[in-house]
Every structure is written in structure tokens, then in C-alpha cells.
Structure 1
Amino acid sequence: MVEPAWPHPRPPGYNARPLSQECSAVADATPPFDDALPEALRFRSPAPLVDIGANLTHESFARDLEATIQRARAANVSTLILTGTDREHAEQAVALARRYPGLYATAGVHPHDASQWSPSLAAAMGELHRAPEVVAVGECGLDFNRNFSTPAAQERAFEAQLGLAAQSGKPLFLHERDAGRRMREMLHAWRDDIPDAVIHCFTADRETLYGYRDLDLHIGLTGWLCDERRGHHLRELVGEIPLERLMVETDCPYLLPRNLPAKLKGRRHEPALLPWIVREIAHWRSVDEVDLARGTTATARAFFRLPTDPTPPDTEHEES
């Protein structure tokens, strides 16, 4: 089995250095990886996909960012939503979205870094949300698993970002771990003021899922489903998520699926592997892969208010 890279939850500042700098804590511990995927991992989705959570501003993509995007297009992952977890990385995500067709960005402050919230940061986020490339407020929310920021600081930053979402009219891209009840309470108070919200990388139980369903939230699924040690319970729940509320994501470079058919040197996840996750979800939902691909893409395009027609793959550079 292939071990997941950089397992959740990520430490404070996990993504906090620009692409031009080394991240010794990760880079030193992670062996180099090849630019090209092994033949057994060169998947292609039968329908265009939207990866709603790709951390392409992570320093591990600095060496082969363009090749990574080309591999995603070759896999028919036509649209990438780049996750902005703080001001610096949201600005980088916007810059990449302006450079590459089919890329969009989110802008928010992750709960791990909630202690950094300030009036100046709130103003900067509000400005970012006005950029057309930014399609959601977040990643924001609550994480009571490790409490890198105190629960009080997390709730303060989350409450402020709920207000920014209401102000901007853009949907929310949410992070929650071991905080489902409090998350639902805070969202319930704001539900009439925010258009839509997605719980990204959902890993919780049935009770939490139905609590989010009661709030008409969307659910994002990752390769956690492919981990027999801790994701097996999701296999029983995937059929209980309405297709019009379901979206898919890699959360790369994290959460590399453990059951890939070949080992990946470096163990870095990337968008080109999203078709494998879709195949797994389709299997456990007992539906056709193409129907799931089309359904999740339609849901994502409506949720993020993306153009109707996805950007066609760059066929001239499909092989990296």
C-alpha cells in the first residue's frame, strides 16, 4: 500500500512559505519524485472533472508546476480550485489563476492560523474576495483536533469570515475536524445570509453528515475513502450524499490514496490522480463512473459559478 503524504491535520503554517522558498521540514523528509507518473497511474476520466481542493501553491509543486497542470489536463481534470489558506497563499493562488486557464482560487484563513486574524487581515481578505478569480471564501472553519489556535480564536476568525462570505455573496470552502456540533451551530446562525457552503475533505460520521445535510451544505470527498485504516466508514456513507451535493477533490499534495495500483516515488498527491478517487467513490455508490464524474462536475460548476463549458485540455502538452 502507498502511504498518504503529509497526513492530516496539517501543522500551523503548513503551507506558509512562497513557492520560491524551501520548506526544509517537508522537503528534507520527503524523497525526490519523478516528473512523470508511472504508466499505471496515468488515468483519464471519462468526463471532465473539477478538483475543488488543490494546494498547488505548496512548495512541493515549485519544480514541476506546469507539468502538474498538464498532467491534470491529460487526465481530463479540466478545472482546479486552488486553496488559499492564508493571505500569502491566496494571493499566489490568484496569480496562478490569472496565468493558467481553468484555474480558480479561494481566499481565507485556516483554523490552524486563526490566531493571526486581525482587522488588517480581514480587510485584505475582503479585497481578495472581490477578485473575479476568487470563487469562494476559505479555507476557513474549526479544527478542535489539535487546537493549534485556541477554540476561541478559531471561532472569532470563523465568525468574521462568515460575515465576509455574506458580504461578498460567494460560497464558503470549509474545514472541520472534531468540531461538527459547534460548526453546525455557527453555520445555522448564518445560513440565511450565506449562499452556499461545502465541507471540504469530509471525514466525519453519519450524524455529522446528516447535520450538514439538514443545513443544505455540500460535501467534498477525497482519497480518505481509499484508506482502509481510517476511511472505511465513508464507504458506507457515500451513497447517502445526494449527487447534487457531492463534489470531489484531491487536497493535494496531501492524502495520497493508499490503494493506488502502483507506488508513487515521493508520495506527493496531485490532481491527475483525481480520476482514481472518482472511480472508488463510484464503486462504493454502485453507480457508473461516467455518471458520477458528470454529476460532481455539474455540481461543482454550479456551486462555484464557473463558466458552463470547461476549458478544453491542452492537447499539445498532454504528455509531460
Structure 2
Amino acid sequence: MHHDAKFQQTGCMQYNDLIDIGVNLTHARFNGDRDAVIERASAAGVAGMVLTGVNIAESESAIALANAWPNVMVATAGVHPHHADQWSNTAAKSLEALIEQPSTVAVGETGLDYNRDFSPRSDQRAAFVAQLEIAATTQSPVFLHQRDADADFLAILREHRAALPAVVLHCFTGDQALLEACLALDVHIGITGWVADERRGAELRRCVPRIPADRLMIETDAPFLLPRNLPDPPAKRRNEPAFLPHVLEAVAALHDESATRLAESTAATSRSFFRLTGKARSGG
């Protein structure tokens, strides 16, 4: 079985080829022990990580970190809706340049967040549309965020979907209606430790069995969303990629299949979605 050079297998434990499609590894909460976090992830069977870019500066940092770990990491580049008020023509030019980097595999994180409203909603919509247009022009996959903005999110996505090569809604926390609308638009779904939260995750748990295997990927969204099924949670409640097996096992139970088989299918789906084999070749 071929495994691309970009994400080499690390087989140490029960799972040996997991891919975490959403890791905020440049976050300040990892500044004190980032190398140890990476080592623990490898020991837990996480063979690859997609580092999330949330604004231009953080996207640059994510790409630099991915370049330092070329067999383990790749990155996204984009402007999160929280930072949409930073969007400008200059940001657009910067993003276009970042997408050309060999380590960059997707445009994002972009989308809408009407839950926090850290940026005005009009700014969020404008930045979202602009980044989808850049993704269409460069034929890049898109890494999306959505909270409490279903109608506007779907309306914008429907308008642009035909021009986009691939789309994933990361950290899906919606209901079955949103899931069905996304699947109808051929959108991939990223599942986090939210699925193990018996308080907030009930609706998500009902959705997971409806996600086809070839549309399903897993992620930690570390350092956020610590899975509540950890037997011995860390004192500071910081999530990290080494905890991805707990997400995998929660999803596998809901999907009624073995965790080992789901590990294989999510890794294969992630490699295909992010074109990891091709990226490895183009990046040398």
C-alpha cells in the first residue's frame, strides 16, 4: 500500500496512521512544549497534521512550522471570521502568495461565525466570499468554519460551490438539516471532540451515523475542545493532537464500525481531500 512522502507512517501504538485535519499548533498555549506535543502525537499514532491558519500572520507561522516538519505537517492559509475585519486588498494579495507555498494545502479557515460576532457580519460575509473566489481561481480546497450562521453560510456556499474543487466544514457542530444541506453540496465533514460531549454534543451524535465514510474526517482543533471521554484529562484542560484517538473511538462507536477501519478510511479521505501525495511531489 502506497503512503506518500508528505506524511510518513509512525506506527507506535494501536493506531499508526491517523491524520488530524485541524490543529492550531502555532497557538501560544503550545509555546512552552511544542516539540513534546509533536512527539506525543507521533507516539499516539498521529502520522499527519494539518495546521490551521486563522489570519495572515498565523498562516505564515503555520506554513513555517509545517516547513520545519515536512513529513508530518502541512498548513492552511486564510482569515477566520473572527478576524474578518482585518480583510483587505493587501490581505488578499498576501493570501494569494501563501497559497503558492508547497506546504499550503487549502484556503481557510474561513466562513461565518454569528455566535461570537468578533467581526461585523458584513465583514465576515465579504471576507468569506473573497476567499472562496481566491480558492476557485487557484483551484484550492477550502477549510470552512460555521457557527450559528446556517442560512447565510449555505447561501454563499451554494453560489460558489461549483467553482471549488473540494470543501470541508471543519468542527461540525450543526444539526441534521445543516448536515444534509452540506452533503447535498458535496461537502466533507470534520468531527472534533465535541462528539464526546454529552452536554453539547447530543445533536452532533445523531448526525455522525449519517456522514458517509468518504466524506468523514477527524480532528482535535487543539488546543480547544478537549474530548470529555479522556480517562485522565490534563490539569489545564489543553487539548493536543495526541488525544485524536479519543475522537476516533467516539466517532467509530457512533458509526458502528471498528476504530481501526475508521482510522484507515479517515486517513485515506484526508489524503485525497488535501492532495497530500501531489503536494509532496510538488514540494520536493
1:278 aligns with 2:248: yes
Matching residue of 1:87: 56
Q: 1:293 aligns with which of 242, 263, 267?
A: 263
Between the two proteins, the alignment pairs up a number of residues equal to: 268
Matched with 1:54 is 23
CA contact (8 A) 2:16 2:47 kept: no
User: Which structure is higher in RCO with an 8 Å CA cutoff and minimum separation 6?
Assistant: 1
| Equivalent position of 1:216 in the other structure | 186
The structural deviation recorded for 1:150 is 1.3
RMSD over aligned CA atoms reads 1.5
Equivalent residues of 2:15, 2:44 under 8 A apart: no
- SS at the partner of 1:136? strand
1:69-89 deviation line (CA, Å, top 9, x unaligned) = 111111110000000000111
Deviations 1:217-272 (A, max 9, x none): 00000000111111022222111000000000000000001121113121110000
Query: Is 1:107 matched with 2:77?
Result: yes
Partner residue of 2:134? Answer: 164
Structure-2 residue corresponding to 1:13: none
Instruction: Pick one of 198, 203, 211 that aligns with 1:241.
Output: 211
In the aligned structure 2, how far is the partner of 1:179 from the partner of 1:236? 20
Q: Is 2:86 the counterpart of 1:97?
A: no
Structure-1-length-normalised TM-score: 0.82
**1:45–1:293: 8 Å Cα contact kept in structure 2?**
no
Structure 2: runs of 5 or more not aligned: 1-11
* Residue pair 2:196, 2:227 contacting (<8 A) in 1 also: yes
In the other structure, the counterpart of 2:8 is none
Aligned to 1:259: 229
The question of 1:173 aligning with 2:146 is answered: no
Aligned partner (choices 18, 27, 38) of residue 69 of structure 1? 38
Distance 2:14 2:202 in 1: 24
Q: Percent identity?
A: 48
User: Aligned with 1:244: secondary structure?
Assistant: helix
- Give the partner amino acid of 1:255: L
Q: Which one has the bigger helix percentage?
A: 2
Distance 1:158 1:45, change over 3 A: farther
Structure 1's unaligned 5+ residue stretches are 1-42, 311-320
Q: 2:211 is matched by which residue type in structure 1?
A: I
Deviating 4+ runs (over 2 angstroms)? 43-47
